[in-house]
Copies of this chain bind each other. A is one copy, B any other.
Amino acid sequence: MKVNIGISNRHVHLTLEHANTLFGKELTKLRDLVQKGQYACNEVVTIKTAKGEIPNVRVLGPTRNYSQVEISKTDAYKLGLNPPVRTSGDLEDSEAITIVGPNGEVQLKEGCIIANRHIHMNPETAHELGFCNDQRVCVKIDTIKGGIMENVHIKVTDDGVLEMHIDTDDANAFLVEKGMMGEIIDGD
């Protein structure tokens, strides 16, 4: 079965407190994302370490009960980091990173991860398709640099909209572009 692929560039989620520190005001919506209630903000930050920095990193809203920086392995080399591959919110022993906004900065002792490949869906879709939350599946990508992405995490949430999320390294390695689909094959 086919699934739409969304490509996640590096981005930041913030607590309300950290958003206030960085911007001195509430986050403002630039555009809605596919996942219900999620949006790209007008606000951007610089993420930095002792070894490097990356400017213009988009903040995604709404605020959460944790702050988190999601980067690719390519970004990680620039920043001199070795972030674990994790699902959102699973931040224990993840990498330290500093977030700089126009109004202030926030030093996260942990919070920087490489997001795992995952597929969002709601419980009805999961039931129909025969998947369960936290299951791992494989997804086949049909391009000239295609192949199979393993260890793709099924994330079932009430508001989930069927969509696979991959990072820019996966997109660029497999030559996946906006609007492409993957094919969910055997679980692994």
Q: Which residues of A contact B (CB under 8 A)?
A: 72-74, 77, 85, 114, 116-117, 138, 144-151, 167-170, 172-175
B74 in contact with A172 (CB, 8 Å): yes
A140 to chain B, nearest CB (A): 9
* Cα separation A170 to B141 with both chains bound (whole Å): 14
- With a cutoff of 8 Å between Cβ atoms, the chain B residues found around residue A138 in the complex are 147
- Across the two chains, which residue of chain B brings its CB closest to A85? B144
Cross-chain contact of A150 among B85, B147, B150 (Cβ < 8 A): B147
A174 to B138, CA, bound (A): 14
A174 touches B173 (CB 8 A): yes
Min CB–CB distance A56 → chain B (angstroms): 14
CB–CB B169/A172 < 8 A:
yes
Please report whether the interface of chain A is mostly helix, strand, loop or mixed according to DSSP: mixed
Cα A148 to Cα B148 with chains together (Å): 5
A-B pairs, top 8 by smallest CB distance, nearest first, are A173-B173, A73-B172, A169-B173, A148-B148, A147-B150, A169-B172, A170-B173, A147-B149
Question: Which residues in B have their C-beta under 8 angstroms from that of A114?
Answer: 145
Contacts A73-B172, A85-B175, A145-B149 aside, 16 further interface pairs with beta carbons under 8 A come to: A72-B172, A73-B173, A73-B175, A74-B169, A116-B144, A116-B145, A138-B147, A144-B151, A145-B151, A147-B148, A148-B150, A167-B173, A169-B169, A169-B172, A170-B173, A172-B173
